[in-house]
């Protein structure tokens, strides 16, 4: 839990010597609480206080990075249980699993579509997090090599310490895979390996008490980057384990459980249940999610769910205001106008582009609000539309000047005619889905 300014003040020397550049220790403490200065500015703070302040300022869920070749999946760094209280920071990564007893060709065939999958969702590129490679009596090093020949995505490696070492030997030195798992039986060998390769280690246990004891033992072995992997595989078991871990970490600032969570929906063996479990893990604190099946339709659903949960609810997704070209418009084609709320923009653009009708689209700066909300808030009126039309050079794009207002804001047409006297102002349909027929029949 972060300390208040007064609590920080209690840990400072209280001499008001001004060496930190502030007139009093209290003023410095207030700046520290607001994270606007570094503690090092005070030369006289005791080692004991320094340790306490460092401990208090550490994030309650330690950020862990699994990365390779410019890709990364960051887990942790969360500060709230519920998104509406602030926001979630680290979107989970979906990892598709291959096994080391599969042939090289089978591994490549499974990995390639995962590697290539990128889908546009309201202007964001969504893609899979990486690949998990699991030992199953085959050649682990060869399996990792086969995966690496088909993708540069980050890896989760699952096996015993000897197998994992074979896999690690095949990777570039600057990669950071996640190793799985340290258990009560193997933790010393796994700790040595994680330390040698400086990579995070997953900790698997059947219950929270065992998990805590194991994390503490590994901490004593001078490791600090963990991912927690509850062994439960049912909906209720996973939900209970994930929630208990995260709640204890955040609400009680309990450091041994303050790590990202790894879940294995793929272990259930049924593609439908796998997706249900994955959806639950996305909604309830999973950071690394291992699946056995890759299917574009379900992948899209899961990635869109992640995008929606991990978007700041207080910041609408926006597109940049400006003039957009739909289907290569020319000087005789009409101007449509809408706001810069992403979903509004894509609704209009997709409807028009899908039927191949050329048009210009003027996207005004409405602070990311939809048409009706922006109009009600005074962010989408005739003056703003005319100002943006002039600012972005709409006049220079067309010889036949026609501008189409969204049907819900028909009331603006009179004022817009006054603001843009050279233009014919039209009122379009209320719904974007009716734009194609409107453009064909009316324009
Ligand atoms: S340098 Fe330290 S002791 Fe001096 S005023 Fe600043 S906080 Fe207080």
Pocket test for ligand 1, best of 16, 33, 39, 50 (most atoms within 8 A of CB): 16
CB hemisphere CA count around 292 (13 angstroms):
14
3 pLDDT tier (thresholds 50, 70, 90) = confident
Task: Please state the atom number of ligand 1 nearest to the C-alpha of residue 16.
Answer: 5
For residue 123, pLDDT over 90 is answered with no
What is the model's pLDDT at position 31? 87
**Ligand 1: residue whose CA is nearest its atom 8:** 25
Same domain for 208 and 328?
no
| Cα 62 to averaged position of ligand 1 atoms, centre (Å) | 30
Q: What digits encode the pLDDT tens for the residues 207-249? A: 999 999 999 999 999 999 999 999 999 999 999 999 999 999 9
What is the model's pLDDT at position 362? 97
Question: What pTM value is reported for the model?
Answer: 0.81
Same domain for 221 and 268?
yes
| Cα 48 to averaged position of ligand 1 atoms, centre (Å) | 16
Same domain for 125 and 247?
yes
Same domain for 372 and 406?
yes
CATH label of the domain that carries residue 40: 1.10.15.40
Beta carbon of 13 within 6 Å of any ligand 1 atom = yes
Q: What digits encode the pLDDT tens for the residues 166-176? A: 999 999 999 99
Nearest to 77 by CA among 102, 97, 59, 103: 59
For residue 313, pLDDT over 70 is answered with yes
Residue 315 in domain: no
Residue 316 in domain: no
Rounded Cα distance, 74 and 432, in Å: 37
- Count the Cβ atoms, other than its own, within 10 Å of residue 43: 9
Residue 72 in domain: yes
Beta carbon of 12 within 6 Å of any ligand 1 atom = yes
Same domain for 273 and 400?
no
274, 293 contact by CB (below 8 A) = yes
Residue 74 in domain: yes
Same domain for 289 and 331?
no
For residue 42, pLDDT over 80 is answered with yes
Task: Please state the atom number of ligand 1 nearest to the C-alpha of residue 24.
Answer: 5
**Which residue would you say has higher pLDDT here, 50 or 75?**
75
| Cα 55 to averaged position of ligand 1 atoms, centre (Å) | 20
For residue 79, pLDDT over 70 is answered with yes
Beta carbon of 16 within 6 Å of any ligand 1 atom = yes
CATH label of the domain that carries residue 114: 3.20.20.20
Residue 38 in domain: yes
Beta carbon of 17 within 6 Å of any ligand 1 atom = yes
Structurally, how many domains does the chain consist of? 3
| Cα 4 to averaged position of ligand 1 atoms, centre (Å) | 17
312 pLDDT tier (thresholds 50, 70, 90) = confident
For residue 316, pLDDT over 80 is answered with no
Same domain for 419 and 270?
no
Beta carbon of 433 within 6 Å of any ligand 1 atom = no
**Ligand 1: residue whose CA is nearest its atom 4:** 17
Beta carbon of 11 within 6 Å of any ligand 1 atom = no
CATH label of the domain that carries residue 331: 3.40.50.11600
422, 402 contact by CB (below 8 A) = no
What is the model's pLDDT at position 2? 66
Domain holding 41, by residue range, is 5-57
**Ligand 1: residue whose CA is nearest its atom 6:** 20
Pocket test for ligand 1, best of 8, 11, 18 (most atoms within 8 A of CB): 18
Residue 314 in domain: no
Beta carbon of 95 within 6 Å of any ligand 1 atom = no
Q: How far is CA 42 from CA 12, 21, 36, 308, in A?
A: 9, 9, 14, 43
Domain-ending residue, one of 257, 288, 309: 309
Beta carbon of 9 within 6 Å of any ligand 1 atom = no
What is the model's pLDDT at position 118? 97
Same domain for 86 and 190?
yes
The H-or-E segment that residue 72 falls in is strand 71-75
Residue 121 in domain: yes
In 103-252, where do the E strands start and end? 118-121, 124-127, 130-134, 155-158, 178-182, 201-205, 226-230
Same domain for 150 and 71?
yes
55 pLDDT tier (thresholds 50, 70, 90) = confident
Lowest mean pLDDT among 2-11, 146-155, 288-297, 367-376: 2-11
Domain-ending residue, one of 261, 287, 309: 309
Residue 368 in domain: yes
Rounded Cα distance, 330 and 216, in Å: 68
For residue 443, pLDDT over 70 is answered with no
What is the model's pLDDT at position 131? 98
Same domain for 394 and 424?
yes
Q: What digits encode the pLDDT tens for the residues 368-401? A: 999 999 999 999 999 999 999 999 999 999 999 9
Same domain for 140 and 207?
yes
Domain-ending residue, one of 30, 57, 84: 57
For residue 33, pLDDT over 90 is answered with no
Pocket test for ligand 1, best of 17, 27, 33, 40 (most atoms within 8 A of CB): 17
For residue 1, pLDDT over 60 is answered with no
Beta carbon of 394 within 6 Å of any ligand 1 atom = no
Same domain for 27 and 122?
no
């Amino acid at each position: 839990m972060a300390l208040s300014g007064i609590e920080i003040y209690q840990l400072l020397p209280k001499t008001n010597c001004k060496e930190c550049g502030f007139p009093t220790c209290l003023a410095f403490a207030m700046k520290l609480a607001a994270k606007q200065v570094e503690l090092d500015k005070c030369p006289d703070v005791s080692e004991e206080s320094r340790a306490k302040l460092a401990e208090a300022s550490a994030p309650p869920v330690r950020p862990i990075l699994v990365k390779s070749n410019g890709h990364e999946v960051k887990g942790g760094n969360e500060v709230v249980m519920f998104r509406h209280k602030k926001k979630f920071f680290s979107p989970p990564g979906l990892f598709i699993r291959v096994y080391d007893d599969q042939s090289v060709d089978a591994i490549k065939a499974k990995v390639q579509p995962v590697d290539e999958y990128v889908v546009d969702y309201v202007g964001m590129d969504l893609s899979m997090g990486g690949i998990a490679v699991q030992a199953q009596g085959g050649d682990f090093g060869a399996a990792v090599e086969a995966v690496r020949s088909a993708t540069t995505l980050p890896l989760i490696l699952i096996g015993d310490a000897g197998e994992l070492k074979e896999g690690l030997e095949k990777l570039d030195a600057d990669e950071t895979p996640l190793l799985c798992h340290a258990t009560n039986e193997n933790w010393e060998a796994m700790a040595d390996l994680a330390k040698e390769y400086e990579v995070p280690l997953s900790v698997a246990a059947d219950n929270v008490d065992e998990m805590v004891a194991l994390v503490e033992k590994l901490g004593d072995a001078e490791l600090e980057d963990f991912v927690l992997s509850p062994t439960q595989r049912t909906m209720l078991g996973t939900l209970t384990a994930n929630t208990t871990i995260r709640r204890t970490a955040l609400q009680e600032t309990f450091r041994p459980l303050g790590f990202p969570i790894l879940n294995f929906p793929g272990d259930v063996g049924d593609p439908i249940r796998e997706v249900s479990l994955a959806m639950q893990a996305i909604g309830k604190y999973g950071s690394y999610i291992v699946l056995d099946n890759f299917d574009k339709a379900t992948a899209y659903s899961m990635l869109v769910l992640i995008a929606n949960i991990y978007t700041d609810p207080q910041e609408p997704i926006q597109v940049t205001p400006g003039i957009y070209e739909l289907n290569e418009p020319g000087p005789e084609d009409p101007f449509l106008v809408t706001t810069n709320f992403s979903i509004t923009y894509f609704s209009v653009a997709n409807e028009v582009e899908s039927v191949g009708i050329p048009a210009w689209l003027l996207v005004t700066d409405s602070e990311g609000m939809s048409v009706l909300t922006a109009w009600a808030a005074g962010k989408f009126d005739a003056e703003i539309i005319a100002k943006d039309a002039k600012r972005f050079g709409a006049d220079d794009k067309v010889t036949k000047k026609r501008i189409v207002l969204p049907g819900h804001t028909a009331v603006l047409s009179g004022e817009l005619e006054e603001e843009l006297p050279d233009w014919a102002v039209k009122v379009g349909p209320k719904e974007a889905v009716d734009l194609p027929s409107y453009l064909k029949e009316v324009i």
